[in-house]
Amino acid sequence: MNIRTTGGNGPFSAETLTIDRAAETDRIVSALRGQLRSMKKRGLVLGLSGGIDSSVSVALAVRAVGAKNVFCLFMPENDSDPESLRFGRLVAETFGVAAIVEDIGPTLKAMGCYERRDAFIRELVPDYGDGWASKVVIANALEGEGYNISSLVVQSPEGVQSKHRMPPSVYLGVVAATNMKQRTRKQVEYYHADRLNFAVLGTPNRLEYDQGFFVKNGDGAADVKPIAHLYKSQVYALAAHLGVPAEVCRRPPTTDTYSLEQTQEEFYFSLPYDRMDLCLYGLNHGIEIEAVAKAAGLTVVQVERVWADIAAKRKATRYLHLGPQLVQPVEEIAGY
């Protein structure tokens, strides 16, 4: 690996990730138009959460095909933060796109999503039920070496919180039930895409895409993913350029998946996105570890642990990026 101490035009820093926002916008818009032509689709459907990634994606979609050819979906469920719907509506109004509410809560309840999840939680907390709330958190990779152990945080109706280490069976059960949310949303997106002859737009940024922070055949499913090459800090830079409402830009990234408020670093990442970007970029571009540590405000040992965590997640989530595995290629369509 070619080890460097600079980002190209000076010492490695957050400025290294600076992009030409106008040129990048034009490049993405051109790519989207070409991709839609190749698929013979005339517009784009996406779920609009009110977060920075989906908001920037809406803005780029409007630039690519016009507001009348962009259709957005708000898909709250029983555990959603009501603020997400407010932010989503603000973005839809800002960019003049059609948007509707598809409440997936009743569907999830009918499929047993909540009851299946709660049954696994009750293996650790027998009293868990109506009026309780919960979230899954992961041990911070900076605090030690080895596997990241997931824990369950529950809050009683009286507001008392407790933390419980989850055995693998409980963790897998809670996550499996929770993943129904992302897969149900994607089913709704594809329904509307099919009826409109639109393509489905996925909204992962580079950090999420690289680290497998998505559900296979859930939020990982899409026809186009226009910001998957952009680090999260670059997505924020595009947001300012594209006119995403300032209130949305100030909103901290959340999962909005569990009934207790939860940050992305609590659930998956070692650090807030700006420092994760620096560590990931440094690893990807062979930047000297001391330079990465200085730029990210970490020790060399901490960067080593973050890099180890990145590598471990890449290995563990590789299957998420794979298509269906065949015994042998179907040669007649292999080139398509």
Residue type, 88: G
Mean pLDDT along residues 117-125: 98
Distance CA 128, CA 157 (A): 10
pLDDT at 82 over 50: yes
pLDDT at 8 over 60: no
Distance CA 93, CA 98 (A): 8
Mean pLDDT along residues 26-49: 98
Q: What is the pLDDT of residue 2?
A: 37
Task: Let me know: does 110 contact 275? Beta carbons within 8 Å.
Answer: no
Mean pLDDT along residues 237-245: 97
Q: Output phi, psi for 328, to 5 deg.
A: -150, 155
Distance CA 56, CA 16 (A): 21
Residue type, 129: G
- Tokens describing residue 282: 């440094």
In our burial notation (b when 16+ CB lie closer than 10 A, e otherwise), range 322-331 reads eeeeeeeeee
pLDDT at 215 over 90: yes
Average pLDDT, the chain: 93
pLDDT at 1 over 50: no
Rounded to the nearest 5 degrees, what angle is found at the Cα of 313, between the Cα atoms of 8 and 286? 20
Q: What is the pLDDT of residue 9?
A: 59
In our burial notation (b when 16+ CB lie closer than 10 A, e otherwise), range 206-231 reads bbbbbbbbbbbebbbbbbbbbbbebb
Residue that the structure tokens 């962009």 belong to: 70
